[in-house]
Amino acid sequence: MKRLPWVVLSLLFVLSIAMAQNSNTNANKNTNKPARNSNANRGPIFRASADQIKQAQTMLKQRSFYSGEQTGKLDTATRAGLKQYQQAEGLKVTGTLNKVTLEKMGIALTDKQRSM
C-alpha cells in the first residue's frame, strides 16, 4: 500500500513529460515558414527548342564533343558533350543548354528566352 502513491506519482510524472514533448512537437509544426521545396519563388524554366538542340549537336559534333546524330533531343550523350564544351569554354558545367551556353555557341535565342 505504501508503494501505490509512488507508482501513481511516477506514472503522472512520465505522462506529463510525454504530453509536454508532444505539445512542443505540434507547436513546431504549425510555424508559418515557407516549405523548403516550394516553387513559389522560382521563375520560368529555361528550355531549349528542338531546333536549338540540333544546332548545338551539330556544333558539338564538329568540335568532337559529340558523336551521335542530330536528333533534337537532349539525351545523355548530348549532355556529356555539353559538359565537355562548357568546360573547354570556361562556362559553368551544367550539361544543359542554358542561355549562356546557347549565346556562347552563337545559337539564336527566341524572344521568350531573351526575356528570361
Q: Quick one: CA torsion of 91, 93, 94, 97, rounded to 10 degrees?
A: 40
The confidence score (pLDDT) of residue 49 equals: 96
The answer as to whether 80 is a domain residue is yes
Q: Which domain holds residue 74?
A: 50-114
For residue 104, give the amino acid letter.
Answer: K
The confidence score (pLDDT) of residue 21 equals: 74
The answer as to whether 67 is a domain residue is yes
The confidence score (pLDDT) of residue 26 equals: 56
Cα separation values, 97 from 4, 63, 89, Å: 75, 16, 14
The answer as to whether 36 is a domain residue is no
Which DSSP category does 46 fall into? P
The answer as to whether 26 is a domain residue is no
How many domains, in total, are found in the chain?
1
The confidence score (pLDDT) of residue 19 equals: 77
The answer as to whether 4 is a domain residue is no
The answer as to whether 55 is a domain residue is yes
Averaged over successive runs of 10 residues, the pLDDT of the chain (116 residues) comes to: 75 76 61 61 89 97 95 96 97 96 96 91
